[in-house]
């Protein structure tokens, strides 16, 4: 954690944890403290998620019926991620201002009060279990109308530090197998809150994508003795055609088999398992290029102001298989042209056979061309 950032933990009215990450004085220096008391009258969080195993694929599917009633696209004056200020309803953040805040989600996809479940219909084909784990919200800024690319470099670094700190803390929690940090941006992605924010999921299992990456990495290591992600990064840097940006510690490139109409991966040059493993110089450069890349995404299409995107941090699993994991960020958009989205139709959705409407080389060329 950067010495300029101060963490202050408190509890919301229903017992959920909230942590302020302050980088501005007088709060960062400890001369003042953000508002810690939540004055709302809130009932306890009623999360009753469970996971059921699909016998056809072996994948765990999460069921969280309580999320059906979560907050959906409220007016800016009723945004739960804005600071609590006079004349407006109290929000999830008691302070009248903040730098970066992380708190437990009131409508978590993961989390259950139950300890055990019997199989569905008592059939061994359909095992199920409580969906343990934890879901957190990361509010990047108090400015409701900002975008991540608008943040200052110092604030971007604070977000990096917050994600790293929470990755370390959640990885040490009992039963956690994977920590996933991400940002969904745009109603086309399914965002229900417009305020600039990200989320962190601490899964009690390996998600299907993470399991596939781990399996391929393990196979590659068995055949070559080397890291698959490392070999991919080195090969992309040798080819150069799809490299968007390269610095002292990070390289951004469009993968040779990119699926999405806009996609770029960001990987550290050093073998690092997760965000918590980055040193200060790596975090400094990451803050600079990460903000830059998100700005390029917004300039990718002429006439489109805010491109919907997902920024997903792939991190090494916790426990078994960790040695095969390697940190990288995948940023992608389902927009394929102004006014047009990439829909996952039969081939992609039913068969998992992807069909792209462009080429990785064209994507890289465009991302290089919209540099600031």
Segment 338-355, tens digit of pLDDT: 999 999 999 999 999 999
**pLDDT attached to residue 2:** 77
Together in a domain, 32 and 115 = yes
Read off the pLDDT of residues 288-343 as tens digits, 9 standing for 90 and up: 999 999 999 999 999 999 999 999 999 999 999 999 999 999 999 999 999 999 99
Whole-angstrom Cα Rg for the chain: 21
Together in a domain, 160 and 304 = no
Q: Is residue 255 part of a domain?
A: yes
**pLDDT attached to residue 27:** 96
**pLDDT attached to residue 3:** 79
Domain boundary among 180, 205, 230: 205
Sorted by sequence, the CB contacts under 8 Å of residue 103 that are 6+ apart come out as 12, 16, 17, 18, 19, 92, 93, 136, 137, 139
Q: Is residue 59 part of a domain?
A: yes
**pLDDT attached to residue 125:** 97
Q: Is residue 309 part of a domain?
A: yes
**pLDDT attached to residue 117:** 83
Together in a domain, 131 and 49 = yes
Q: Is residue 1 part of a domain?
A: no
Positions annotated as catalytic residues are 197
Together in a domain, 317 and 219 = yes
Together in a domain, 213 and 327 = yes
Give the rounded distance of the alpha carbon of 146 from its chain centre: 18
Q: What residues make up the domain containing 327?
A: 209-369
Average pLDDT along the chain: 96
Together in a domain, 213 and 232 = yes
Together in a domain, 219 and 91 = no
Domain boundary among 205, 228, 247: 205
pTM: 0.97
Give the rounded distance of the alpha carbon of 361 from its chain centre: 26
Residue with tokens 């389902």: 334
Together in a domain, 171 and 91 = yes
Together in a domain, 58 and 133 = yes
**pLDDT attached to residue 196:** 98
**pLDDT attached to residue 47:** 83
What is the separation, in whole angstroms, between the first and last Cα of the chain? 29
Read off the pLDDT of residues 133-160 as tens digits, 9 standing for 90 and up: 999 999 999 999 999 999 999 999 999 9
Residue with tokens 């994600």: 163
**pLDDT attached to residue 41:** 96
Together in a domain, 54 and 83 = yes
**How many independent structural domains does the chain possess?**
2
| Ordered per-residue pLDDT tens for the chain, 372 residues | 777 899 999 999 999 999 999 999 999 999 999 999 999 999 998 888 999 999 999 999 999 988 988 888 999 999 999 999 999 999 999 999 999 999 999 999 998 767 788 999 999 999 999 898 999 999 999 999 999 999 999 999 999 999 999 999 999 999 999 999 999 999 999 999 999 999 999 999 999 999 999 999 999 999 999 999 999 999 999 999 999 999 999 999 999 999 999 999 999 999 999 999 999 999 999 999 999 999 999 999 999 999 999 999 999 999 999 999 999 999 999 999 999 999 999 999 999 999 999 999 999 999 999 999
Task: Please list the residues that pair with 137 across neighbouring strands.
Answer: 103, 199
φ, ψ of residue 344 to 5 degrees: the values are -90, 90
Together in a domain, 159 and 131 = yes
Domain boundary among 171, 205, 239: 205
Q: Distance between CA 185 and CA 369 in Å, rounded?
A: 23
Q: How many residues does the chain have?
A: 372
Q: Please give the structure tokens belonging to residue 289.
A: 């290029």
């Amino acid at each position: 954690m950067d010495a300029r950032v101060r963490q202050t933990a408190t509890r919301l009215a229903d017992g959920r944890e909230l942590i302020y990450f302050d980088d501005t004085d007088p709060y960062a220096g400890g001369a003042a403290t953000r508002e810690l008391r939540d004055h709302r009258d809130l009932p306890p969080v009623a999360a009753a998620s469970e996971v059921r195993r699909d016998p056809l694929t072996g994948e765990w599917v999460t069921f969280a019926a309580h999320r059906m009633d979560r907050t959906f696209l409220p007016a800016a004056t009723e945004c739960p991620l804005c600071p609590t200020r006079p004349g407006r309803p109290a929000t999830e953040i008691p302070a009248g201002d903040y730098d970066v805040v992380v708190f437990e989600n009131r409508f978590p996809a993961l989390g259950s009060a139950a300890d055990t479940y019997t199989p569905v219909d008592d059939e061994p084909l359909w095992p199920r279990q409580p969906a343990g784990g934890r879901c957190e919200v990361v509010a990047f800024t108090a400015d409701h109308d900002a975008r991540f690319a608008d943040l200052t470099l110092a604030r971007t670094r604070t977000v990096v530090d917050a994600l790293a700190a929470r990755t370390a803390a959640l990885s040490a929690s009992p039963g956690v197998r994977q920590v996933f940090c991400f940002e969904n941006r745009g109603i086309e992605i399914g965002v229900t809150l417009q305020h600039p924010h990200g989320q962190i999921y601490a899964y009690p299992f390996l998600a299907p994508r993470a399991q596939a990456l781990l399996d391929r990495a393990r196979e590659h290591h068995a055949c070559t003795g080397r890291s698959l992600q490392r070999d991919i990064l080195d090969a992309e840097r040798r080819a150069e055609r799809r490299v968007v940006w390269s610095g002292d510690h990070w390289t951004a490139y469009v993968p040779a088999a990119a699926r999405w109409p806009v996609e770029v991966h960001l990987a550290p040059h050093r073998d690092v398992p997760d965000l918590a493993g980055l040193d200060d110089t790596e975090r400094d450069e990451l803050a600079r290029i990460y903000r830059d890349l998100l700005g390029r995404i917004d300039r990718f299409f002429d006439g489109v102001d805010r491109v919907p995107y997902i920024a997903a941090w792939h991190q090494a699993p916790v426990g078994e298989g960790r040695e095969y994991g390697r940190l990288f960020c995948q940023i992608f958009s389902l927009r394929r042209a102004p006014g047009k989205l990439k829909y996952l139709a039969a081939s992609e959705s039913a068969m998992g056979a992807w069909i792209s409407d462009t080429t990785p080389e064209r994507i890289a060329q465009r991302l290089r061309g919209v540099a600031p």
